[in-house]
Amino acid sequence: MNKIGFIGLGNMGFFMSKNLAENGFLVDGFDLSENALEKMKKTKVDISKTFENVCKNKNVIITMLPNGNAVKSVWNDAIKFINNDTIMLDCSTIDINITQDLHKICKNKSIKSIDAPVSGGTMGAQKGTLTFIVGGSKKIYEEVKPLFDVMGQKSILCGEGGSGQATKLCNNLLLAVTMSGLGESLKLANSFHLNLEKFFEVISTSTGSCWALNNYFPVKNIGPISPADNEFKPGFSSKLMLKDLKLAKKGAEENNLKLDLNNYVISKYEKLIENKKGEFDFSIIIKN
């Protein structure tokens, strides 16, 4: 289980593949971006010159791509070149229906597949502290768990194929809502001219405590280091958060649900995009 083909070497894929290569796995990487490939040359990851080469004779193919259409296209092409015992593993955050369709395609061709979107952002990818939110069979999960243990600090099997994607969307919906709520709390605190260091000290140990506050406090020089200490460079960008929120909305509508808070934070992130702040970390929502 040590021969890995890694497709998608962007902000997340760079660190994830790098960590695998530095921990004894034989990793071939592939990306359409010349800049991504050039950056990869400084690591132990081997660069595949062709898509076919990154897929051939691998135990696992990992994809880390920006959207469902890209994953679908890559998986459909990869299936043409992989061995019968190769495991297809997607770590992107994409449409649940596309994920389930890809699982069906693989099952019909007797190919093992698993979805495992991640939580933790680029900081987690760099430090190897990601959480993998997994959907698929227990047997396949146990086969690829050594990879999760290198790239992250925790992996959780949530259910059958697609369950990982569904759980990830629920997680990001809650994260966006709590970060937006934290922003309103900060606005109120500032209107009272409160000392924000004391504000953090109190709220972080009180009933309003949450991950957004304790681990990602969006005010410079207070709490743990966060994107706020680096001019809101991501991290996890606002445009990616908006993508995930819209995927959650789509899933809700397909199940005849109306999510009022989801719709509210979508409107806030859409405004950020309109103001050309989509590349900034999602925590910049506190300024909106």
Among 160, 189, 211, identify where a domain stops.
Answer: 160
Pair 175, 194 in one domain: yes
Count: domains in the chain: 2
pTM to 2 decimals? 0.92
For the chain, the first-to-last Cα distance in angstroms comes to: 47
Residue 41: closest CA among 5, 234, 49, 71: 49
Instruction: Specify whether 173 is located in the same domain as 155.
Output: no
pLDDT at site 103: 97
In this predicted structure, the answer to whether residue 131 has a pLDDT above a threshold of 90 is yes
Strands (E), 185-255: none
Tell me the C-alpha to C-alpha distance, in Å, between residue 213 and each of 41, 95, 286: 37, 28, 12
Is residue 200 within 8 Å of residue 222, measured between CB atoms? Answer: yes
Cβ atoms 96, 117 nearer than 8 A:
no
CATH assignment at residue 210: 1.10.1040.10
CATH of the domain at 50: 3.40.50.720
Give the domain-ending residue among 108, 131, 160: 160
For the chain, what is the mean pLDDT?
96
Q: In this structure, are 17 and 148 located in the same domain?
A: yes
| Same domain flag for 8 and 144 | yes
The pLDDT of residue 33: 93
Instruction: Examine the residue annotation and report whether 168 is marked as an active-site residue of this protein.
Output: yes
Q: Which of 18, 72, 112, 168 is catalytic?
A: 168
Q: Over pLDDT 90: what percentage of the chain?
A: 96
Mean pLDDT score, 78-100? 96
Q: Which of 160, 195, 212 is the C-terminal boundary of a domain?
A: 160
Instruction: List pLDDT tens digits, range 213-237.
Output: 999 999 999 999 999 999 999 989 9
Sign of CA dihedral 125, 226, 234, 98: positive
Quick check: 1 pLDDT over 80? Answer: no
Residue 104 binned pLDDT confidence (cut-offs 50, 70, 90): very high
Clarify whether residues 150 and 208 are in a common domain. Answer: no
Which has the closest alpha carbon to 18: 32, 36, 1? 36
pLDDT tens digits for 151-189? 999 999 999 999 999 999 999 999 999 999 999 999 999
Q: Is the peptide bond preceding residue 235 cis, with omega within 30 degrees of 0?
A: yes
User: Domain check: are 214 and 85 in the same one?
Assistant: no
Q: Do 95 and 142 fall within a single domain?
A: yes
Do 207 and 112 reside in the same domain of the chain?
no
pLDDT band at 288 (very low <50, low <70, confident <90, very high): confident
What single-letter amino acid sits at 217? F
The pLDDT assigned to 123 comes to 87
Answer yes or no: do 8 and 141 share one domain. yes
Q: What average pLDDT does the segment 51-65 reach?
A: 97
Question: 57 lies in which domain range?
Answer: 3-160
pLDDT at position 259, please?
96
- Note whether 137 and 274 are same-domain residues: no
